């Protein structure tokens, strides 16, 4: 033992690892660690910027007053916040029944069928289709024929973006339900529709809700498809959702690129609100899934 310790460290190479191997290993470790740190750093940089610049604009007025005119002082984002909530929830309300039913078809009825394979494939493509094209599509089918922007068009665009997320998670979650549960239900004489509703859906409930929350987080910050469907509006909106509807993302876009300090301040505050809401939703969805 004492001999080994006495031997001069410099002369005996540790093991027989070639220098080049050790260097390449070191380089990989440094590179991988740096790139991860960079990604985490960017996240905190963005969050820090939002809190720093947006935090100053958070006030009671933000939630009680409507958007101010160009160059004027004061005002808030009340109409944009309410408009965004209405559009987003309407979008989810349209997408959820269709998405859950389509996911149910893929997981329960369409096992091994060609149609189900095709739908699954197309759904995956729709999942990553550019959102601006969905905006254009809704413009062509809903805005052009009816000669006008509307909240309905905006929420349909958001629904089309939310739909593939819901289809995908519903299918994945229903596939996790053990078949023995379904067989037990069928053995009691329950027809497929009752087995699905009373057994599969119940067992997969947490997962399906997670999917809906993720879809909500996905569409809450979408701007591009709203640009030419719901447009924007600086007034309180009418509840039949015709005409331009004020909404947070498009308001932020318009205010951030405008030369008025007051507007920019509101844009930062709105950005903080929307990012906070989306991150809270994603974290909530994740913890819901992990709790199971």
Partner 1 sequence: MVAVYERSYQNATKVTRKANPFGFDPIFAALSKAAAITVLVLLAGIMASMIYGGWPAFREFGLGFLTGTQWDTMNDKYGGLPAIVGTLSTALIAMVIGVPLSIGTAIYLTQLAPAWFKRPVGTAVELLAAVPSIIYGMWGLFVFVPLFAAYFQVPVSQVVEGMPIVGTILYARSPSGLGILSAGIILAFMIVPFIASLTRDMLDQIPTVLRESAYGVGCTTWEVVRHVLLPQAGVSIVGAIMLGLGRALGETMAVTFVIGNANRLSPSIMDPGSTIASRIASEFNEALGMQMNALIGLGCVLFFVTFVVLVIARILVSRVKQY
Of 147-166, binders to partner 1 (CB under 8 A) are 160, 163-164
Residue with tokens 């405008």: 258
Q: Which of residues 66-85 bind partner 1 (CB under 8 A)?
A: none
Smallest distance, partner 1 to C-beta of residue 241, A:
19
Distance between CA 211 and CA 283 in Å, rounded?
A: 12
Smallest distance, partner 1 to C-beta of residue 207, A:
17
Smallest distance, partner 1 to C-beta of residue 215, A:
12
Radius of gyration of the chain (CA): 26
- Binder among 77, 80, 134, 153 for partner 1 (CB under 8 A): 134
**Does residue number 25 form part of the binding site for partner 1 (CB under 8 A)?**
yes
Q: Which of residues 168-197 bind partner 1 (CB under 8 A)?
A: 191-193, 196-197
Alpha-helical segments (H) within the chain = 2-6, 19-55, 60-64, 78-104, 114-127, 131-138, 144-146, 151-175, 179-187, 192-194, 201-203, 205-220, 224-227, 248-256, 261-291
Q: Which helix (H) or strand (E) holds 222?
A: none
Q: Which of residues 228-287 bind partner 1 (CB under 8 A)?
A: 228, 231, 249, 252-253, 256-257, 267-268, 271, 274-275, 278-279, 282-283, 286
- Binder among 78, 98, 209, 288 for partner 1 (CB under 8 A): 98
Q: Tokens in use for 1?
A: 């033992």
- Binder among 80, 90, 92, 106 for partner 1 (CB under 8 A): 106
Residue with tokens 């985490």: 40
């Amino acid at each position: 033992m004492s001999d080994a310790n006495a031997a001069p460290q410099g002369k005996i190479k540790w093991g027989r690892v070639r220098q080049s191997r050790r260097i390449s290993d070191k380089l990989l470790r440094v590179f991988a660690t740096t790139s991860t740190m960079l990604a985490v750093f960017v996240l905190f940089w963005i969050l820090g910027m939002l809190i720093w610049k947006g935090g100053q604009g958070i006030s009671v007025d933000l939630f009680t007053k409507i958007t101010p005119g160009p160059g004027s002082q004061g005002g808030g984002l009340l109409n944009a916040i309410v408009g965004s909530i209405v559009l987003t929830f309407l979008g989810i309300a349209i997408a959820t029944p269709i998405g859950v039913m389509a996911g149910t078809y893929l997981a329960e009825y369409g096992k091994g069928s060609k149609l189900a394979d095709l739908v699954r494939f197309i759904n995956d493509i729709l999942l990553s289709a550019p959102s601006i094209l969905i905006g254009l599509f809704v413009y062509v089918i809903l805005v052009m024929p009816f000669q006008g922007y509307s909240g309905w068009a905006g929420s349909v665009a958001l629904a089309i973006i939310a739909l593939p997320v819901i289809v995908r998670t519903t299918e994945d979650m229903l596939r996790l339900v053990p078949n023995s549960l379904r067989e037990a239900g069928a053995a009691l004489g329950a027809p497929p529709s009752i087995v699905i509703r009373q057994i599969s859906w119940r067992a997969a409930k947490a997962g399906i809700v997670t999917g809906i929350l993720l879809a909500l987080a996905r569409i809450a910050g979408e701007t591009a498809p709203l640009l030419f469907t719901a447009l924007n509006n600086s007034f309180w909106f009418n509840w039949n959702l015709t005409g331009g509807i004020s909404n947070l993302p498009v308001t932020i876009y318009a205010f951030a690129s405008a030369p008025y300090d007051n507007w920019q301040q509101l844009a930062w505050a709105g950005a903080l609100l929307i990012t906070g809401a989306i991150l809270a939703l994603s974290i909530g969805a994740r913890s819901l899934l992990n709790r199971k």
